[in-house]
Amino acid sequence: MKRSILFVLPFTGLLLSPQPLIAQSIDLKKIEKIPDSVKIENIVILNLFKHQLLAHKNNKYDSARIVNHVYLPHKKLWDSCYGVIFGEENGRLFNNPKGMISWNKILYRNNKKQFEEKTNLLLGINVEKVFKKTLTKFRTFVPFQPKAKISLLFTPLTGIAFGGCNDEQFALELNNKDLDIPYALEKGLPHELNHIVYEHFRKADPDRESALSQTIDEGFACYFSYVFFDRKIGKHEAVENMTQENWDWYIRNEKEIFTKLKPYFSDTSGHNPLLRNDQLHLFPEAPKSLNYWLGFRIIEKYVEKHGQDSWEDIYNLTSKDILEKSDYEKYIESL
């Protein structure tokens, strides 16, 4: 599975000549005290960013630190998630020590100000406390406790934001320009944790690779966030923090959206307008998160029909069953 993949930026960082490091604006002694990893219940958080910074200590590049403390601790993430998402050519940057050493040598030097600003921002957040608080409430909602490995890191190609390819391959990209780190940790964490739990149950769905299944998966994660925050956040905020204006556009065009996208529900290629409207432009005026919004609406209609707590049923239903039992299509026909 590929979760929360937002966008891919062109790879330019390694093509620039390395710039000389200037005086540190971060406290390296404080960085050194950060644990390499923290385990909270069944969630392991790897602070890979720590060694991506310390590898440049005293203006010397420690390539062994990159291999031993950035690449190997989360090898599956680099090899099987980043290495696959960004294609064969770019994948070679991630799936071997040589590639990892190469881009880590240049990336920090060329983005020093941004990286140190992001690091200082992160250091102002008690990440362990945030995870503990969220997990305490989370366990009261779900039938299965999540197990995951999540790395906090910098990367030359951003696209995951906060998410990953499976529960052992999660990342929070500190240098992703579209990511609000405090917001992601506070409001985005329940969304991602629900992906992990739902994936445990989705394995029984024979159509789990279909576009409909992926749409339900994202929509359910959004709806779960809505429930997790006691339905006190707006529905538009629950769906990737879109604006009310974005939401209103979707509602105005709801019938056309469903009618045109229904033929792609069974597609398993991943390259269809439902999942990749940003590339295929079936709805060029659509705001972000088209499939997230549609999945949310299907779940919402299911709950309207079956009762406020019926969202819990979703874990044990196939995507086709959810769509059918939601009567969403009948609702669309009535518009």
Q: Is 281 left (phi over 0), alpha (psi -120 to 50) or beta?
A: left
Place of tokens 């071997």: 96
User: Does 14 score more than 70 pLDDT?
Assistant: no
For residue 145, the model assigns a pLDDT of 85
Residues of the chain with pLDDT > 70, as a percent, come to 93
**Cβ 170 vs Cβ 164: under 8 Å:** yes
Range from 81-95, 251-265, 273-287 that averages highest in pLDDT: 251-265
Q: Which two tokens stand for residue 54?
A: 């310390």
Q: Across residues 101-128, what is the average pLDDT?
A: 94
| Range 175-199 average pLDDT | 93
Q: Token match 């069944």: residue?
A: 42
* Cβ–Cβ < 8 Å for 159, 6: yes
Separation of alpha carbons 83 and 85, rounded Å: 6
Please check the confidence at residue 19 and state whether its pLDDT lies above 60: no
Q: Are 288 and 331 in contact (CB under 8 A)?
A: no
State the average pLDDT over residues 28-42: 93
pLDDT at 263: 97
pLDDT at 25: 76
Closest alpha carbon to 237 in 274, 194, 172, 191: 191
How many Å apart are CA 279 and CA 311, to the nearest integer?
A: 31
Where does the pLDDT of residue 6 fall: very low under 50, low under 70, confident under 90, or very high at 90 and above? very low
* 159-173 pLDDT per residue, tens: 899 998 888 999 999
